[in-house]
Structure formats: structure tokens, C-alpha cells
Amino acid sequence: MSYRLFVALSPKGGNRLFVYNAGDVIADVTAEGPAEGGAPYSFFLYSRQLELLGHAQSGDDGVQRHGRTFTVRFPAPYAWLPGNYFFLLCTAEGRVVRFDLCLCPDGSFRVGKGRPCGPLSDEDVLSGYLAGEARLWMRLTQRPGTMQLKRWVIRRAREMELNALRVGQGMEPLEFSNNLLVEARPGDVPGPAVVLLKHVAGLEGDLKAGNCESFYDTTCALPYEKLTEFFSQPASDDSCLFPPLSSQERCIYSFYNIGALTGNGGPTIMSRIRAHWPGGRSSAIFRGTRAELDALLETNPTLGAHFPACNRLAFEPYTREEVIRTFLHEAELAHLQLSPEAAARACCLLGEAYDGGVADKWSWLDIRSCVEDRLLPLHTGSAIRAVRSTAEPDARFQVGAAQVEQCLAACQTDDLADALGELNRMVGLSGIKGSIVTLTHRMHFFAERRRLGLPVRDGATHHAIFTGNPGTGKTTVARLLGKVYRALGLLSRGEVVCVDRSRIIGRYIGETEENMAQILREARGNVLFVDEAYTLYNKDDSRDFGRHAVECLLDVLSRKNPDMLIIFAGYQREMDNLMQMNPGLVGRFPYKFHFPDYTGDELVEIARRILLADQYRLTDEAASFLSRSVCDTLMARPPHFANARWVEQYVRNGIIPAMADRVAALPGRPGREAYRTVELSDVETAYRMFNAQSVELKQRRTIGFCA
């Protein structure tokens, strides 16, 4: 028997925006041949990303039968986008017919000729085994970036069907590994997807999820107490979506925050994990970023043998359709009702952002932040104003196209371009700017080669040394470098964690290691900025605890792709001595940036920018004296002059307070200009406090070095 299919869109509410249509899809399936009586049929509609968009059976409310023709209605959850889809028809006898569909920009469907699909084909699995898990399978297919996970589930379902046939023939079933390595991009949340994968694929055993960061806690009397509890307690589901299975014979361990397995306490944790797995009836899932998984396999060379290549899965960059659907889905979860025009505008703008190379880098957290941090406040403010103006109810509570445009305009920024733009707008530092731009080009070059499937053998580390006097921009550049590395995918978060000796070194044995363990936990995925790093190493004092801190840092510095950027900062001579005195550090810092002192013109420009940012205006006399005062200070420059930090204090703690005293003494009620205009007397008063003779110097520390 052959079948004929006709598919059309049925827009809701008269919405004829076919390209971004939120209506229902109506499918008419006609049997061309003898009717099969009352035999049940099943119908499935999939996107090209294997997202299950709808399924129904004959007899359901959404299915009507007229002789040999079935009319099936698939409600659209968000929007139908132009592109490729496929429709599956499954008969009671198990025959599966596939129709390829193409939704054209004008809203019409092109339908290919139906073709039968054989046993154990993808279509047979999708309409057979996985149909029994339709609710959970649909939830997994709707998670963006999970194409590899979906393919693995289909392959595992096919293997299970094959084993069922083998058992039916009296043969032993084949054994397949359930051990998985799941690579997530920064900003993705793989936990729920792993739970769904486990249940949809029918993996036997209870699922126990373990946070590896909690397995070693130096603040407890028994540091491994949580690790012992994890393996002694009954299994439970990490997302509370499903109750534990009844069987206690099998167990699936799912470990996350696996970066802790390569740090202090990691070998003991791995030893305990190996005592329960591999072997027996247990299996394991390790989930983390690429850097975390690479570090785990590198520090545990024999671990990789337990994970077949086909069981190494990765969350992939989102497709254009996935970005759009995820945005609309997150808006729905936030209880935001988009008008038809707003939904169409969102689809259009997101498509443009994706094609423009901005939204194609988004993660689930980026999309959720766009909805919750931007669209929701915009709509709330608009709704409050609409209620006050007694607008129509629909206008009060629907998100309009203008709100969507404003939201996405703020979200459509290129993090890499923004960070480099902010770096280029900094005063001075021309040599450092050029070096960072070259470094960025190199990393982007390798990233594009990797995306295009070309080999990349860049295993170099990217830690850096910043040398220079105080106030030369080292911390600011570290913050921007974190943003650059985050945009390039080298860091998962990209923030800056600043520490110095006072926070690192403890007062008693073991406290330094505890401090470092806490600091490294905070710095995972971020920039660890160690100020005055040379004070950590005292060659002549064997009792100094700083060497323990250096040893902890060497463990991270020796790893490839540790999802952490370590920056040592300090005076140039002392940092050079540190590198010479500790051979273990040599070669761990491939990038060295020297921050020169600012010139007089550069310091004046910094002062002008500080004032301009708060809408202050210098008179000509005040501007002239400001320039002279900066030059005079530089001529009498004390050792380790604080550069931009001195200028900021000069302006904020000197000029502005002097101006406030002067304006307060004016008679009557001064006008707006009085509160904006900086007079000569304001700068003169401030300079008496902040001239070269009054500057309080920051003394350098000389632990372990000659003055």
C-alpha cells in the first residue's frame, strides 16, 4: 500500500506571517490501496535537528478519519521556520513511511514522495521503540545542541532491538558500554539532558549524581566525608525528575564539576571511584567542559580505555532554529506572552544575529539571561505604564514587537569585539594592545580551523606575567583578557579573581593548602590574578609557607587547557628574579607583558576622561593648570609612582571635594553649570594635597630578594 501526504499551515488568530508562523500544521494522509479497517496508525513530525515537534495516533482528539484519509493536527509550540522537516507514518503492522517536507518562505510546504523504511532504520526506531518514551524523548529532543546525544539514543535503541531479536533466536545478547564522556560548552547545563538520555535509552540501574567539588573539603575534620557518604547512600536522581529505580544491582554514577578530580585530593577521589567502578554492574558518566575532560584523561591515562569513541558525546553549537526556539521557549517559561508581531520580529532579529556571527555563539545561559535580564524588565515596565494608562488588556500583558527589538538590540553584541574595543580605548599601552590582538587572531584562527574540521595542534598554555609599577592598567587588562578568553572558548566564565600573599599564606601547617584549594575553586573558569607574586617564594626561609602555594599553582600551570588563566603580576626586577630562582615556573608563562609608566599627556587624558564620564567640564585655566601639575609631579616622580591610580585619587578625592566646598559657599541657589564646571581654584586646592611631596608611597615587599 502507498500513501499520499498533503501538509498546510493553519495560522492562529488570522496571523499570516508564514515565515514565522505560530499556528498548527494540518497533515492529510491518504491511503492509496485497500483500507486496513480500524487498524491504528501513528504519526510523527520532526525537524531536521531531530526535534520531535508532534506525535499523534488514530483515535486521538487531534486526528480525524474520513474513509482512507486521516487529518492530523500538530499544534506548534512556538514557530514554524522555513527549512526541512520530515513526517513519519507508522501502521499497525509496523510498516514505516517517511515523507520529507520543506517549508518555503511563502508558508507553503513542498512534500516529497513517501518512501518505506526498513527494520532497525532510524525511522523505525523513532516511530517504534522511542514512541513508547514519547514524552521524555520529546523533552530531550527539545534541548538545543544535543544532536550527538539524540544520535546516541537512536543507536542504543537499535542495539537493544537487535538484542531482542538475538534473544528470540536463542542467542546471547551483545554487551554494550554505558560509560559516557559528555562534553558541555561553557554556559550549557548538561545535567537534565543526561538524566533524560539515561531514561529514554533505557539504561539499567539507579542514577547517582556526584558533585566532585564536594568530595574533598579541607574545612572538615574528615576531608573525604562527603565522598564516603556518596558511595554509601542509596541512589537518587540529580534533577528530581524521576524516582529512583527499584533495582539496586546496577548503578550509573554521573559525576560533574570534574575539574576537582585533577586538583588537590583528586587522586584519592579517583581511587575511591575506581573501587566502585569500573567492573561489576556499574557504569559511569563524566560530564564537563572540553578542558576538564582533557585534563581528566591526561591525569588518568588508563581511564580512556573504558570509554568507546562512540560514547564520547558533545553538546554542539546551536543551530539557527535552536537559538530561535530556545528564546521563545524561555520567554514562555518566564510567562511572557509574545504578540504574533513580537514573535515574528524575534525570529527575524535572532536569525539576523545568528547569520551575523553573534547569536551563533550563544549558550542556554546567554539566551536565558537575554529573556530574564532584559526582556522581562522591559515588559514589566511597559505593562505597569499600560495599566496606569487604562490601555486595552491585550496591550497590557502582551510583549510587543518594540520591546523585543529593544531587548535583542542590547543582546546582539560581540563579546570578543567589545573586549578588544574596550582594550583599544584604553590610554597608552600600544605594545600590549598589539600583542593581545595578535594573540586573539591566533586563537580565533585555530578555533575556525577546528570548526571547519581541520587539524589543530595548539596545545600551548596561555598563562601570563604582567610587570610594571602600580596604576599602569594591569588589573584592567587582566579583566579584558578574561573577556577575550571567554569569547574564544578558552575560559568558561572569564571573571577575575584577585589574590595576594595575605589571602594565600596561612598561619599554621595546612592552612595555606586550604586557602589555595578554596582560591582554585573560585578561579575555575576564570582569571586568577596573583598580585606581587614574587612574595610567595622565599628561597632562604625553609619554614615559609609560600612554597606550598607555589606547588599548588604548579599543579595547575602544568596542565593543558586547565579552564583557568593564571597571571603573575609585580615589579619587573622582582618577577625576573622569581623566574630565575624557581626553575619550576620557567616555561609555564609563555606570555610576558610589561606595562610602562604613563607619560604626562597620557595621565592628563586619563584625568579628562574621568571628569568627562561624570559630565564635568574644565575651564581653560583649570585644564592648563591640571596639565602643568601632572608634568611637575612626573618631574619629581617618586619611586614606584602610582600612575593612573594617583590621577584617579587626584580627581576624585581632590578636585571634586574642592569643587563641592566652593559651590557650597556660593550665595543663593547655584545653577546647573556651577555643578558641572571645574574652576582653577578647585585644581589648585587639590594639588596641594596630591603633589609629589604629599604622595604616600606603596613600599615594595622584598621577601626573599635583595633590595
Per residue in 258-301, pLDDT tens? 888 887 788 899 998 988 887 667 889 999 888 788 888 888 88
Q: Tell me what pLDDT residue 286 has.
A: 94
Least confident of 10-19, 97-106, 261-270, 515-524: 10-19
R_g of the chain, CA atoms, integer Å: 32
What pLDDT, on the 0 to 100 scale, is given for residue 636?
79
Per-residue pLDDT, 12: 47
The mean pLDDT of the chain is 82
| CB within 8 Å of 578: residues ≥ 6 apart | 533, 534, 537, 568, 570, 585
pLDDT surpassing 80 at residue 138: yes
Q: Does residue 314 or residue 416 have the better pLDDT? A: 314
Q: What is the pLDDT of residues 198-243, one digit of tens each?
A: 888 878 778 888 999 888 887 777 888 888 888 886 554 443 433 4
CATH 2.60.40.10 positions along the chain are 2-130
Fold of 600-690: Helicase, Ruva Protein; domain 3 (1.10.8)
Residue 111 is classified by DSSP as E
Q: Is the pLDDT of residue 47 over 60?
A: yes
Superfamily name and number for 415-595: P-loop containing nucleotide triphosphate hydrolases (3.40.50.300)
> Model confidence at 641, in pLDDT bands (50, 70, 90)?
confident
Across 9-14, average pLDDT: 52
Average pLDDT rounded to a whole number, residues 562-567: 84
Q: Where in the chain is the domain with CATH 1.10.8.60?
A: 600-690
Orientation of helix 340-355 relative to helix 401-411, angle to 10°: 20
pTM above 0.75, yes or no: no
Could you tell me how many residues make up the chain?
707
pLDDT at 702: 45
Identity of the highest mean pLDDT range in 49-53, 65-69, 461-465, 561-565:
49-53
Model confidence band, residue 546 (pLDDT cutoffs 50, 70, 90): low
The C-alpha angle with vertex 677 and arms to 676 and 678, in degrees rounded to 5, equals: 120
Domain 147-314: give its CATH code: 3.40.50.300
- Give the residue-averaged pLDDT of 105-111: 83
CATH 2.60.40.10 fits 2-130, yes or no: yes
Q: Which pLDDT value is given to residue 243?
A: 40
For residues 322 and 201, which has the higher predicted lDDT (pLDDT)? 322
Strands 42-47 and 52-57, bridge-based pairing: antiparallel
The rounded Cα 90 to chain-centroid distance in angstroms is 40
Q: Where in the chain is the domain with CATH 3.40.50.300?
A: 147-314, 415-595
Contacts of 414 (CB under 8 A, 6+ apart): 357, 358, 487
pLDDT at 707 exceeding the cut of 50? no
In this structure, the number of other CB atoms found within 10 A of the CB of residue 368 comes to 19
Cell 559651590 sits at which residue? Answer: 663
Specify which of 42-46, 298-302, 405-409 reaches the highest per-range mean pLDDT.
Answer: 42-46
Highest mean pLDDT among 138-147, 271-280, 541-550: 138-147
> Scanning the structure block, which residue is given the C-alpha cell 602544568?
558
How far apart CA 34 and CA 636 sit, in angstroms, is 102
Q: Say yes or no to pLDDT of 518 above 90.
A: no
- Listed in order, strand segments (DSSP E) in 67-166 are 69-75, 83-90, 96-103, 109-111, 115-117
